[in-house]
Amino acid sequence: MTKQAAFPAAEDALAAAAPATQQQPGRRFTSFPPPSWARGACRKAAAAQVAVADHLGAVAAAGGARTTAAAGSWLDSVVMAAASPRHADWLEKHPSALAGFETVLAAAEGKQIVMFLDYDGTLSPIVRDPDSAVMTDEMREAVRGVAEHFPTAIVSGRCRDKVFNFVKLAELYYAGSHGMDIKGPTAQCKHTKANAGAVMWQPASDFLPVIEEVYHALTAKMESIPGATVEDNKFCLSVHFRCVQEEKWGALDDQVRSVLKDYPGLRLTKGRKVLEIRPSIKWDKGNALEFLLESLGFADSSDVFPIYIGDDRTDEDAFKVLRNMGQGIGILVTKIPKETSASYSLREPSEVKEFLHKLVKSTGTR
């Protein structure tokens, strides 16, 4: 395999900055590093942001009546429009779940909402140190509110115990290790099923000794790559390179592949500044979503409205399942246009929190 396969798409900002004439529908960047035209477009977009921000700063200094918060929000949208002309087109296909909230609500009318939430980048911001990706108390309250009304699951690439320690809500379902480790709520709630609290599904148990072996091998290899860290997520591993200098990404890729060549039962995928190593069984976040719906008694039901919110490529498996089902909605958390099977979008975790609050408020009054 080549180095390019480990980095199947260029960085997020480059996807946003690609000129419309060169970024064909359905096209992903396949080269690594990205082509020069993309890097140039990225620089132009950044320059446009600075120019617009400077102009708006001058307007604000001249005594504009907007509040700081409102101006910030307004500024964000103006900057986005100026920096990325394609964004308006993209938003037509993947509208904001806040702007389109009434449409979402109408589609869910009379159906049981089931909420699926990714963790990193969805409930917590992406941070340099993955162990510091805590969620705010306000976000926790928003998730707690949702769980009071609807069956709610956290679906994460993280180890189940680790993501539970971040979220700390016993009334949720947790699907860790990209859905390969699923457990029901440990606290009694109205959505709890008879078998809840028990481990419900661990399809990759046979891989545990291999994963542990590879974890130690990768940890040793990464000692030569400053900033690289290996996270043990029980049934899968994550090699984080958020803190690695870009010149070292190729070496990191080589090192990871040199370990994995001896383990054909494992596969490599890429997330946001992370390489994911997983058992090569057909089980992903989409399968986890289907499993949980079935466990909740909604297999083949037309009365269910699953909502899945996530920010990463691994969430696309769940978005695709929902698209194929023709039920519910996928919501991609992103500030920039990306290829996605999600039907709606939100810009960042703070908007996810707002969406969850609105959902609780609206359904509580119906």
Contacting residues toward Mg ion, per CB under 5 A: 118, 120-121, 311-312
Query: Could you tell me the CA-to-CA distances from 210 to 42, 214, 260, 265 in Å, in that order?
Result: 41, 6, 11, 9
Least Å from the CB of residue 203 to Mg ion: 21
Q: Using CA atoms, how far apart are residues 171 and 152, in angstroms rounded to an integer?
A: 8
Q: Which is nearer to Mg ion, 127 or 220 (CB)?
A: 127
Q: Using CA atoms, how far apart are residues 49 and 43, in angstroms rounded to an integer?
A: 10
Least Å from the CB of residue 118 to Mg ion: 4
Q: Using CA atoms, how far apart are residues 97 and 103, in angstroms rounded to an integer?
A: 9
Least Å from the CB of residue 247 to Mg ion: 26
Q: Using CA atoms, how far apart are residues 345 and 329, in angstroms rounded to an integer?
A: 10
Catalytic residue among 118, 253, 284, 315: 118
Q: Which is nearer to Mg ion, 175 or 196 (CB)?
A: 175
Do 183 and 174 form a contact (C-beta atoms < 8 A)?
yes
Does the annotation count 131 as an active-site position?
A: no
Q: Which is nearer to Mg ion, 248 or 273 (CB)?
A: 273
Q: Which of 121, 103, 135, 148 is nearest to 312 (CA)?
A: 121
Least Å from the CB of residue 322 to Mg ion: 17
Least Å from the CB of residue 223 to Mg ion: 27
Kindly report the CA angle at 88 between 84 and 93, in degrees rounded to 5?
125
Q: Which is nearer to Mg ion, 123 or 146 (CB)?
A: 123
Q: Which is nearer to Mg ion, 311 or 351 (CB)?
A: 311
Do 349 and 167 form a contact (C-beta atoms < 8 A)?
no
Indicate which residues carry an active-site annotation: 118
